[in-house]
Structure 1
Amino acid sequence: MFKKKYPLLILAISSANITLMHAAHAEEAAPGVLPTLVIEGMEEEDPSRSYIDYKQANVTRNGLDKNEIPQTIDTIDVQKYKLYGSNDLSVMLQGTPGISTSYDMRGDGIMLRGFDANNGDIYRDGVRESGQVRRSTSNVERIEVLKGPASVLYGRSGGGGVINMVSKYANFESTSSVGAYIGSDANRGVTVDVNEIVSDNWAVRLTGEHGESGSFRDGIETDIDMLSPSVTYDNGQDLKWTAQYTYDKLDRIPDRGPSYDVLPAGTPLTQSFAQDGDFVEDELQVFRSDLTYDVNDMWQVKWAASYREAYQNFDHFYSGTYCESEDTSVRRGGSCSGHVGDISQVYYWQETGNNTLSNNVSLLGDFMTGTLRHRMVVGLDMSLEGREPKLANTNQDGSSIYGYVNPLTGEKQSTRGTGDLLINTHNYYDSMNVGLFAQDLISLTSNLDVMIGARFDKYESTAQNKLLDANDEDYERSIDDTTFSPNIGIVWRPASQHAVYTSYSRSFAPFGGRVSVNSVRSSQDLDFFNADPQYNDQYEVGVKSDWLNQRLMTQLSVFDIEKSNIRYRPDPDNDPYRWAIQGEQESQGIELSFIGRIAEDMYVRGGYGYNKATVKEDKTSPENEGKTLSGVPRHTGNLFLRYLPTESSYTEIGVTHVGDTWTNSDNTNKLEGFNRVDAAVGYNIGAWRTSLAITNLLDKEYWRSSSMPGTPRSVLARVSYKFD
């Protein structure tokens, strides 16, 4: 329980170290760490852009510099990963301290500081990315990660943090370009990014991408189509408005095979398990409007509105059981239909639509009360979310649909098409959330700030069974609840280039820990419903520093998160109405990140994270106490170096590390960790930009998740032409 015994000691030691180290460095300022506006003005392929930190992050919602926030904030420029051909959010976040990633055909598979972030903690331009959809990053400029509980700013949460993707939009700084890329596994595509200043007050922008790619696993394909027009009006005085529409579509032949521990020895990593006719369609449409108005020198109003539609339709075979003998009890991974030497697959069809209508009005103030300076944000969030899944997994005649793959020979067969599917699940879920929040950074002295925040949320959730009518008692269920979330932090600057902080923050997951829109089932007996929320409480101590005349930025943090109020019924037979606390989970860790220029021609970025996420108490399964939470590696990290011998050329090499990971709560199945080396070179000729990147330079074999091996060595070449 070091959070209770040692935070002041850690704070004192950190402060002493910072003071001593600071004495060895000069304090003169230099433009090494550039503000957001300047980075947005840099061309996308600028060789140094990926190695310069953003001064601010939209995810904080208050306009403050990152070193004024008493929590860890990482900002990742997407271009550094586009260089290697990455489009998936989970791939881009691999190796980031405190972040665990896996492969999920339907979503992203991301955990923050030991806790799931998929269902409620991924945002685009400040709007929750609810719904079942694979997210493309084709129109994303940067990824912002606010680590630790953030319910004060965003409401319901899994408790590990918040990920915010910031879209490219019309502005008065960015240049224009067209480009193309080609690489391994039939990876090819074209891009367009035209930003035009129409007048002193108006700018328009159009970004787009069409891409096609195969895979190192036979028969796996992905097509990308993205188009996003936007317009920005700025009167040059007190009003700025941006409107944007984004259409993003992914068509895929999915790769969703069985777990690695099910496969027999000798199965090649290139073996795919998709059957003929398997497909996934992901379609995302977003309309958003952002309005900023400066009331005067002290007060600013922001109004952000967004409507989002996400659609996913898939029909495929996946997962599976390996049949080792004619005895159906001899199998790996589940039941077996007796086809010796085959993977017996599972079949599913699902069509799911999600929509989100979101509004936020915020008032930002910078004012004095006596000798105290306040930088405050007060906001009102309102959102309506809907989800409508349709599922079918049987034939009309009731016989099972099955698929088989022989993992050693590659032979496949299925019974798809032998009968018409019947929809056996059709539900509609909707939820409403109203949240009122306030956060104030109070400057007590010139080098000491206190941040205080609070939020009040009201949630309502409804589920309807569309296969039944309103006269059926299992047709509809509704629940509602209210929750209060606090946070407090202290930021002390013993020197101008260093900030030491400590903070406490809480997040909540309503309705028994459910953070998605489908919080209740239409047939749920509400008398037995676990309505109390789960809480994540975090204590964090950290240091944020600028070095080498502000050319190098570092963050060091120590955190302890406890997930509490996990509920269960001790005696459901004799006392079915009584709920009690089942236990707690705890995530402790240390994170270090750094980015900047360490020598005249040498840049660095990277970090290291140690995360011990364990079951602290479990009254239903006491044998799991002390075991590691599944999906959370103890060690993560990355280190990239870029050398710029001239203004027009660069070379880069980097390593991404993910440690051993338990894939089940019993800690009996372990996924071995890996170190992946990537490298790239780039050269600019006038307005032309070229690059050649190699992923997995050493061609290491590894598994990125229990059901997906890592990509072997691959090459991607990019070329673009810049124009004004």
Structure 2
Amino acid sequence: MSVGTSFKFSRVGLAIVAALASSTAFAEEAASESQVTVDSNIERISVTGRSFNDYKVGSSSGAMRGDIDIMDTPQSVTVIPDFVTDEQLATNLSEVLVNDSSVTGGSEKWNRQVFNIRGFELDSGSGYLINGQQQWSHYVQPIETLQQVEVLKGPSSMLYGQSGPGGLINMVTKKPTYENMFELGFDTDENGSTRFQLDAGGSLNESETIRYRTVLVKQDTKYWREYQDGTNQERDRWLGYLNLEFDITDDLLLSLKYDHTQDKTGIDRGGWLDSSGDLIGGRDLIWDQPWAFTDNTISNLGAELTYNITDDWKVKAGYNDQQFNRQRLDSSPSYSEDALTDGYKISPFDRYDDWQHKTGYVDFTGNFYTGDVEHQLLIGANMLDYYYGMLRVKGASEVVQVGQPVPNPGLDYHDDPDGKYESEYKHYGFYVQDLVTLNDQWQLLAGVRYDEQKKDGAGNNSYAVSPKFGVIYSPADNGSIYVNYSKSFTPQGSVNDENDINDKLNLDPEYGEQYEIGTKWELFDGSLLLTGAVFDITVSNVTVTEQLETPIGDKDTITTQSGEQRHKGFEMGAQGQVSESWFMTGSMMYLDAEYVRPETDSLNGKTPVDAPEWSANIWTRYEMTDDLALNFGAIYVGERFANTDNTISKDGYVRFDMGAAYTMDVMGSDVSVRVNVKNLFDKDYLAGGTNTDVTVGQGRHFSLALEAKF
């Protein structure tokens, strides 16, 4: 990487940081000029029914397994509230997570989304949580049911067991309401996509001891990229969600939750890049055949019981049963740099996957004193029962020519000649954590966890002890400085790819270790949160999958484990209200990531895929009047490598977005109209993914939304 290129990254990143800094300075001046202005703003917002500060959330339920103030959390955490993502007309988790620069996107093939935190890829089985319980996330997560998304950065194995070194995504669902609410929403775009939403809640009896929240979604999406018969990729999705709360007694609360998702879409594994990093066949071309699809059916049935033993002590237990079934009829095109002239091979198959995730936990929490020292104690245990089954039947491979799609081979996974492949394991963990408040300035955090994963077969069991330590120093009431040390434990299971030389090989766990120093400050009476952190993460026994230069039969990849992976960097963030009418959220990250392998290893010193040196984002709302608001956003992602050998790179880019919303009273109901433009200047760019499955950024894109609140 040249010095000139590095300077270009830094300059763009620092430009966005300068914008954040200037907005903060402006806010401080505005706040000092008139405190009365802020007070009048509170009164105005309460009239319109909107909360005072929609952009800032004061606590995170996932970082400490409880609603503990972010200022009392010795860890870098970003909370993205649904108000912000509703403004952005986000339709999937990828469009939510662009609000945190420590998260970068990866491949989106097979109707699923891959993410990296601090440069480490999140595992589908251990990288995602729903209300603090592990969620199998091998699909596009629905976001309409979410109240907020929490990005927990750094190792979190002390609380959650198996998890990656970069962090976790905790998705917090919407809760039942005491007051009746009913909201209808509709949005569409220039391609003809539509999404209908209903969100309702309230009490079911006069005493308000039984409450509900329900969400219904019907979405039909038409994408802009085209199959070779001229048709577009399409998606058909519907979602149902119901959450019931019962106050059994004044101290005992039962919550029942059920959601069901049906999601069918055509397959688009992404674009192919040649050795120069240019798209083969242009931006619109889909290499998959038009008959290829994935059909996902997911259901979650869960229950939580909370018992307040006293005002200071409580016990909380939860269980969730997730059933995930997928049919995938895949044409499985094989990458070829000469595909336009010589054609390319497809190897069709029909496959049925059955994942079953059963999770449970018990947490015992309490506040007590030893002398003048306050303790916030957590003692708990959780478990995961995992099952996977697969049926698959293959068709004949053939070479096809671009622009000449072939007929559907008519495969049926029920005809699998080998029978059902099955795999299962059980995971248990026990943990203790104590947040000790010594005085107004000093807090200490100490915790430890024991994990055990049991899998059939000799030598397949894994054990780990994961400690975590933190110190918080508060030099002022509105600011803190912290340090922490934590470890991660990630069982790897076995290689499950028939095109890999080491298919079915049992892999050893990966172990991570992080040191972090950070600071958090609340300005303007707590309305604006500023954060910063420096981190150093080292992972041993790293699992790496590489493309073979020369395929061996049908084998074109090899998965191995050796050496380390080290990621160092710093990040900054700002979130909240910066003046009477101006709200913002923004962040930036610098990352230095590399493989540390034996000197004879070709990967030694190389940078992982999709780990940019610089990334930044900003999203703002300016309220022109009580009824009209304007939005502006920018996303910067620096240059990234598209293969593990670092011979192919994707250029850095800046994408600008804008929006406007107008709210009116129609027969006593709030009705809002929103117009958004993504990629305002029609920038050509490549998002996540490798040279064989890169996500091609969409050009200028218009969306329109209507919402009515009754």
704 and 507 in structure 1: CA distance in 2 versus 1, 3 angstrom threshold: same
1:675 to 654, 670, 673: 654
The correspondence of residues 304-453 of structure 1 with structure 2, limited to 5 A, is: 304-322=318-336, 324=338, 340-394=341-395, 400-402=396-398, 404-406=400-402, 410-414=403-407, 416-417=409-410, 422-424=416-418, 426-453=420-447
More deviation, 635-644/259-268: 259-268
What are the Cα deviations for residues 672-711 of structure 1, in whole angstroms up to 9, with x where unaligned?
A: 1211111110011122122111111111111113422111
Choose the corresponding residue for 2:533, options 557, 562, 565. 557
Partner of 1:8: none
C-alpha contact (below 8 Å) 1:307/1:355 kept by paired residues:
yes
| 1:244 aligned residue | 257
Matching of residue 714 in structure 1 with residue 701 in structure 2: yes
Q: CA deviation at 1:428?
A: 1.0
Change (3 A) 1:221 1:265: closer
Q: Does 1:182 align with 2:195?
A: no
Residue in 1 aligned with 2:588?
608
- Superimposed CA distance per residue, residues 106-160 of structure 1 (whole angstroms, 9 cap, x where no aligned partner): 4321111121213311111222122633322232221111100000000012211
Output the CA distance in 2 between the equivalents of 1:359 and 1:560.
32
Q: Distance in 1 between matches of 2:388 and 2:511?
A: 25
Aligned residue type for 1:284 = I
Structure 1, 385-394 or 600-609: larger mean CA deviation: 385-394
Is the alpha carbon distance of 1:88 and 1:618 closer, same or farther for their aligned partners in structure 2, counting shifts above 3 Å?
farther
In structure 2, what is the Cα distance between the partners aligned to 1:597 and 1:461?
A: 50
Structure 1, 218-227 or 169-178: larger mean CA deviation: 169-178
Secondary structure of the residue aligned to 1:215 is: strand
Compute the displacement of 1:82 (Å): 4.0
Alpha-carbon deviation of 1:323? Answer: 6.4
Q: 2: distance between equivalents of 1:156 and 1:229? A: 29
CA distance in 1, matches of 2:542, 2:149: 31
1:157·1:509 contact (CA, 8 Å) conserved in 2? yes
Q: Secondary structure at the match of 1:60?
A: coil
Q: 1:525 to 1:392 in 2, by over 3 A?
A: closer
1:652 has 2:631 as partner? yes
Matched, 1:704 2:704: no
Task: Measure, in 1, the Cα distance between the counterparts of 2:467 and 2:147.
Answer: 31
Shift, 1:423, TM fit: 4.7
**Aligned AA for 1:356?**
H
Q: Distance in 2 between matches of 1:453 and 1:188?
A: 47
Shift of 1:641: 1.7
- Given the alignment of the two structures, is residue 485 of structure 1 paired with residue 466 of structure 2, yes or no? yes
Contact 1:403–1:412 (8 Å) recurs in 2: no
Contact (CA 8 Å) 2:535, 2:569: kept in 1 or not?
yes
Matched residue of 1:321: which SS?
coil
Which amino acid in the other structure matches residue 406 of structure 2? Answer: Q
> Which segments of 5 or more consecutive residues in structure 2 lack a partner in the other structure?
1-24, 227-231, 545-559
Distance 1:56 1:236, change over 3 A: farther
**8 Å contact kept, 1:649–1:682:** yes
Partner of 2:199: 193
Partner residue, 1:205? 213
Q: Map of 1:22-37 to 2, 5 A cutoff?
A: none
Is the Cα contact below 8 Å between 1:185 and 1:214 reproduced in 2? yes
Letter matched to residue 397 of structure 2: I
**Alpha-carbon distance change, 73 to 525 in structure 1, aligned in 2, over 3 angstroms:** closer
Following the alignment from structure 1 to structure 2, what is the Cα–Cα distance between the partners of residues 501 and 127? 27
From the superposition, tell whether residues 615 and 434 of structure 1 become closer, same or farther in structure 2 (CA, over 3 Å).
Answer: same
Q: Is the 8 A contact 1:502 1:542 kept in 2?
A: yes
- Quick check: 276-285 or 314-323, which moved more? 314-323
Secondary structure at the counterpart of residue 186 of structure 1: coil
Q: 1:625 deviation in Å?
A: 2.2
Query: C-alpha displacement at 1:84, in angstroms?
Result: 4.0
User: Do 1:132 and 1:354's aligned partners in 2 also have CA atoms closer than 8 Å?
Assistant: no
Amino acid at match of 2:285: Q
Distance in 2 of aligned mates of 1:173 and 1:439: 36
Supply the distance in 2 between the matched residues of 1:377 and 1:483 (Cα, whole angstroms).
20
CA distance in 2, matches of 1:551, 1:720: 27
CA separation of 1:340/1:566 partners in 2, compared to 1, >3 Å: closer, same or farther? Answer: closer
Shift in alpha-carbon separation, 1:401–1:196, aligned structure 2, 3 A:
same
Q: Who is 1:509 aligned against?
A: 490
Of 567, 575, 578, the residue aligned with 1:587 is 567
CA distance in 2, matches of 1:46, 1:68: 27
Aligned residues: percent identity? 22
Cα deviation code 1:593-635 (max 9, x no counterpart): 11111111111111001111111233561x4322212221111
Other-structure match for 2:302: 288
| Aligned 8 A contact 1:84 1:716 in 2 | no
| Alpha-carbon spacing, 1:657–1:358, altered in 2? closer, same or farther (3 Å) | same
* Residue identity in the other structure for 2:473: W
Post-superposition offset of 1:345: 3.4
Give secondary structure in 1 for the equivalent of 2:85.
helix
1:474-553 equivalent positions in 2, closer than 5 A = 479-510=460-491, 514=492, 531=508, 533-553=509-529
Rounded to whole Å, the distance in 2 between the matches of 1:136 and 1:668 is: 36
What's the Cα RMSD here?
Answer: 3.4
1:127 aligns with 2:133: yes
Deviation for aligned residue 1:258: 4.5
| Separation in structure 1 between the aligned mates of residue 383 and residue 86 of structure 2, nearest angstrom | 34
Q: 1:136 aligns with which of 113, 132, 142?
A: 142
Does the 8 Å CA contact 1:68/1:491 hold for their aligned counterparts? yes
Q: Which residue identity lines up with residue 146 of structure 1 in the other structure?
A: L
Partner in structure 2 of residue 229 of structure 1: 242
Taking a change above 3 Å as real, the CA distance of residues 618 and 116 of structure 1, as seen in their structure-2 partners, is farther
Relative distance call for 1:227 and 1:540 in structure 2 (3 A) is same
Asked if 1 retains the 8 angstrom alpha-carbon contact of 2:635 and 2:655, the reply is yes
Maintained 8 Å contact 2:273/2:279: no
Listed one character per residue, the Cα deviations across residues 30-58 of structure 1 (whole Å, up to 9, x for unaligned) are 999xxxxx9xx999995976522243333
Query: Is the CA contact 2:489–2:510 (under 8 Å) kept in the aligned structure 1?
Result: yes
Corresponding pairs, count: 641
Letter in 1 for 2:686: W
List per-residue Cα deviations over 1:474-500 (Å, max 9, x = no partner).
xx6672232111000000100000010
CA distance in 2, matches of 1:156, 1:231: 30
SS at match of 2:94: helix
Q: Aligned residue for 1:597?
A: 577
CA change 1:275–1:314 in 2 (3 A) is same
Cα distance in structure 1, aligned partners of 2:278 and 2:151: 39
TM-score (norm 1): 0.82
